[in-house]
């Protein structure tokens, strides 16, 4: 009988893509292994996971909203419903191991798996553990982390420092520059600034770039811009008003390997996945941490790089004044670019997905 693994979590690309990378690594080691994803209904994993070739089941789980909302009254009922549904999924699928990657859905699924005596593994992407993972860590058999010092949140004897699993095609992307130029319709004669705000976009980054496009274009640069769905129409209108073909805007970019390949400098949020990908791609980066992230973990992620002179950082509240001037400064400074590339490459963990998959197989045995 084939081995079976449930992978649960999601909500953002920062949870989903590490989960997919783990699933691919598991099936690379054992092509007969069956993987089932469990996500939250209405969240982006319900679209992205099937696109990656895996089956996913949704739970009706939701988090508390910070503002006063009638939706918060429904949260306890959704939790009870999700726990019941998670129990049914486990009974039907009969997994050998359950893996949690963070996000709403991982809580009910891993809780019910633990109660059923199924070994559980947590993959914590950030430098500051989320509430769900801190709770689940008490029962987990193994906790895989990406940053040192996580003993502050989890039992030290369960921790393995293995890094964040990312798509293997991001390693050594520089050789694919010509392919990337064709993919995005860019010109190899110009340096490229790649701007991304995470899978959902980033308002402060988008507004700063939108205001600063004339300066960037006047300096001779071209821009690849992932805006997120909420800002794409605004970006396209500005590009049309400027009458330029040197800015390419997309609401979402699926070929991230090629986006990194074409980039000379990257502006990014400091989510765990983005930081791990930037380390593997070894790109000079300006990080703008999302200030509302739980426990301000994106600032902690960014500072890990800044303290090792592996990236630059600008506070979200300072983007309108500082982001474009800092980008122009870095684009001109080849010596600084090379320094950042050298230092960020040292932090990469290209084998993270395979190493985490190996820990999953140990739990099966």
CA distance 132 to 122: 10
Tokens 């092509």 -> residue? 31
The answer to whether 227 and 235 are in contact (CB under 8 A) is yes
Output the CA–CA distances (angstroms, integers) from residue 150 to 98, 107, 128, 218, 274, in the order listed. 21, 19, 8, 46, 20
Q: Is 126 annotated as a binding residue?
A: yes
Any known ligand binding at 349? no
Q: Which H or E run includes 224?
A: strand 222-226
Which residues contact residue 172 at a Cβ distance below 8 angstroms, ignoring those fewer than 6 apart? none
Q: Is 11 labelled as part of a ligand binding site? A: no
Three-state DSSP class for residue 205: helix
Any known ligand binding at 298? yes
Q: Is 321 annotated as a binding residue?
A: no
User: Do 223 and 216 form a contact (C-beta atoms < 8 A)?
Assistant: yes
Q: Is 272 annotated as a binding residue?
A: yes
H helices present in the chain, as ranges: 13-29, 45-51, 75-93, 106-115, 131-136, 177-184, 203-218, 232-242, 256-262, 272-281, 297-306, 319-332, 334-345, 352-364
To the question of whether residue 197 is assigned a binding role by annotation, the answer is no
Annotated binding site: 12-14, 126, 167, 199, 253, 272-277, 298
Annotated binding site for UDP-N-acetyl-alpha-D-glucosamine: 12-14, 126, 167, 199, 253, 272-277, 298
């Amino acid at each position: 009988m084939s081995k079976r693994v449930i992978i649960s979590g999601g909500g953002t690309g920062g949870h989903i893509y590490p989960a997919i990378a783990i699933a691919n690594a598991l099936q690379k080691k054992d092509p007969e292994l069956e993987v089932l994803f469990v996500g939250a209904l209405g969240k982006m994993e319900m679209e992205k996971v099937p696109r990656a070739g895996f089956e996913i089941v949704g739970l009706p789980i939701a988090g508390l909203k910070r503002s006063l909302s009638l939706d918060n009254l429904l949260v306890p009922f959704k939790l009870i419903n999700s726990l019941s549904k998670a129990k049914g999924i486990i009974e039907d699928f009969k997994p050998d191991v359950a893996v949690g990657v963070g996000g709403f859905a991982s809580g009910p699924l891993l809780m019910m798996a633990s109660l059923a005596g199924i070994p559980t593994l947590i993959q914590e992407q950030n430098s500051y553990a989320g509430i769900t993972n801190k709770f689940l860590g008490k029962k987990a058999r193994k906790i895989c982390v990406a940053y040192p010092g996580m003993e502050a949140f989890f039992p030290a004897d369960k921790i393995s420092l293995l890094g964040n699993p990312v798509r293997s095609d991001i390693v050594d992307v520089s050789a694919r520059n010509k392919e990337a130029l064709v993919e995005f319709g860019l010109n190899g004669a110009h340096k490229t600034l790649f701007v991304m705000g995470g899978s959902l976009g980033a308002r402060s980054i988008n507004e700063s770039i939108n205001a600063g496009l004339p300066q960037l274009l006047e300096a001779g640069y071209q821009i690849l811009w992932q805006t997120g769905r909420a800002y794409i129409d605004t970006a396209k209108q500005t590009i049309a008003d400027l009458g330029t073909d040197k800015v390419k805007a997309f609401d979402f970019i699926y070929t991230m390997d090629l986006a990194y390949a074409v980039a000379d400098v990257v502006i990014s949020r400091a989510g765990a996945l983005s930081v791990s990908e930037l380390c593997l791609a070894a790109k000079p980066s300006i990080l703008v941490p999302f200030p509302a992230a739980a426990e301000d973990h994106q600032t902690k992620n960014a500072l890990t790089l800044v303290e090792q002179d592996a990236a630059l950082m600008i506070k979200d509240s300072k983007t309108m004044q500082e982001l474009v001037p800092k980008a122009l400064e870095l684009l001109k400074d080849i010596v600084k670019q090379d320094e950042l590339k050298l230092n960020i490459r040292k932090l990469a963990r290209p084998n993270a997905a395979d190493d985490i998959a190996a820990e999953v197989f140990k739990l099966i045995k």
